[in-house]
Amino acid sequence: MNLRDLRYITALARLGHFGRAAEACHISQPTLSGQILKLEEELGIAIFERVGRSVRLTAAGEQIIEQAQRAVQAADDILASARAARDPLRGPLSIGAIPTIAPYLLPHVLPKASMDMPNAPLILHEDITQNLMTSLSAGHLDAAIIATQETSPLITQLPLYNEPFWVVLPQAHKLAARKTIAPQDLDPRALLLLADGHCLREQALDLCGHPELGDGHLAEVRALSLETLMQLAAAGYGVTLAPELAVQSARGLAQGLVARKLSGKQSHRRICLAFRRNSPRLKALETLAQIIRGTFTKKR
């Protein structure tokens, strides 16, 4: 058994398909299949249950893969530590961001990052928080820009900025005449929300969704993007909450919409850069955090 074999089985476990796993490992499918069979024979157990060209883990395989992932991550960290010792700002950074941040922040971060970190290009991934944290813990990401506090002992966070929430509503809405709107003044039955899994949905409910009323009293919308919610608001289907950068983005608000700041001490979200404790890329991540903070300040 060697590290190469562990990379093969973790790739197959992640992708669930021999062809895709072989491609990810840059080898032929017969080579991948043969090496995994040899490893299973060496261990005396079946790691995978084969179903055609697809696979699923056996009960014993789940335990093996969990340990293999830790071993592969440790080996990758050793390599990354060596690179970082030679030059902390050299080597690509895989950065995740949630969908309510990525399109509004990252286009402005990339030019500054390219200038200040020319040898550490950013590889960007957009996904919901839960998926980003899974990828981060598994070592597939170096860091993730999120809007929640993570409690995992494996993860630490650098605070980036506090982003206020705004209420986006039709110009003809009765609350549009106000300069600011209090959370309790919003009708939860007209509140347009993102789908389950988006942290902005939970934050909106906490602020003004009156969750004790139950989902049956909320607007029947489960959108996948802020843009959809804003278009629905423009069409008169309700109101929504949006973070400040989304309201002030170059796209602007759709015709017929206005934005009013949500009042209250808790009417904002804390944006953080999450990464694994003892990350060998700490210096690069601290530099990236400084760039993000400066970008947000300039965009306000």
pLDDT of residue 67: 92
Judged by average pLDDT, the poorest of 57-66, 79-88, 157-166, 181-190 is 79-88
Q: Which residues pair with 216 in a beta bridge?
A: none
User: What tens digit of pLDDT does each residue of 239-260 get?
Assistant: 999 999 999 886 668 888 999 9
What does the domain layout of the chain look like in residue ranges?
3-85, 91-161+270-299, 162-268
Beta pairing, strands 54-57 & 239-243:
unpaired
CA atoms within 13 A on the CB side of 104: 23
Distance CA 149, CA 13 (A): 29
Q: How confident is the model at residue 219 (pLDDT cuts 50, 70, 90)?
A: low
Residue 205 pLDDT:
80
Estimate to the nearest angstrom the gap between the alpha carbon of 192 and the chain centroid: 22
Mean pLDDT for the stretch of residues 275-288: 92
As a 3-state breakdown, the chain gives helix, strand, coil percent values, each rounded to 5, of: 45, 20, 30
Res 55 pLDDT > 80: yes
**Among 65-79, 125-139, 240-254, the range of highest mean pLDDT:** 125-139
Same fold, 3-85 and 162-268: no
Nearest to 198 by CA among 254, 142, 243: 243
The confidence score (pLDDT) of residue 220 equals: 60
51-65, 73-87, 179-193: range with lowest mean pLDDT:
73-87
Topology (CATH level 3) of domain 162-268? D-Maltodextrin-Binding Protein; domain 2 (3.40.190)
Percentage of residues in the chain having pLDDT higher than 90: 58
- At 31 the three-state DSSP class reads helix
Lowest-confidence segment of 93-97, 156-160, 220-224, 290-294 by average pLDDT: 220-224
Structural contact between residues 170 and 259, judged by C-beta atoms closer than 8 angstroms: no
pLDDT (0 to 100) of residue 52: 72
State the DSSP H helix or E strand holding residue 222, giving kind and residue range, or none if neither: strand 222-223
> Quick one: average pLDDT of 7-31?
92
Q: Which fold has domain 91-161+270-299?
A: D-Maltodextrin-Binding Protein; domain 2 (3.40.190)
* pLDDT beyond 50 at 213: no
Cα–Cα distance measured from residue 221 to residue 284, given in angstroms and rounded to the nearest whole number: 40
Q: What is the pLDDT of residues 165-208, one digit of tens each?
A: 999 999 999 999 999 999 988 888 888 888 877 888 888 888 87
With 0-12 / 13-18 / 19 or more C-beta atoms within 10 angstroms meaning exposed / middle / buried, residue 173 is buried
Name which residue leads in pLDDT, 211 or 63: 63
Structure-token match 């789908």, residue found: 195
CB 183 within 8 A of CB 264: yes
Distance CA 257, CA 260 (A): 10
**Residue 212 reports pLDDT greater than 60:** no
Q: Is the pLDDT of residue 214 over 60?
A: no
Distance CA 164, CA 208 (A): 14
Place of tokens 């039709």: 170
Among 92-96, 99-103, 209-213, which stretch is predicted with the lowest mean pLDDT? 209-213
Enter the CATH code of domain 3-85.
Answer: 1.10.10.10
Residues 6 or more apart from 224 whose CB is under 8 A from it?
A: 99, 194, 195
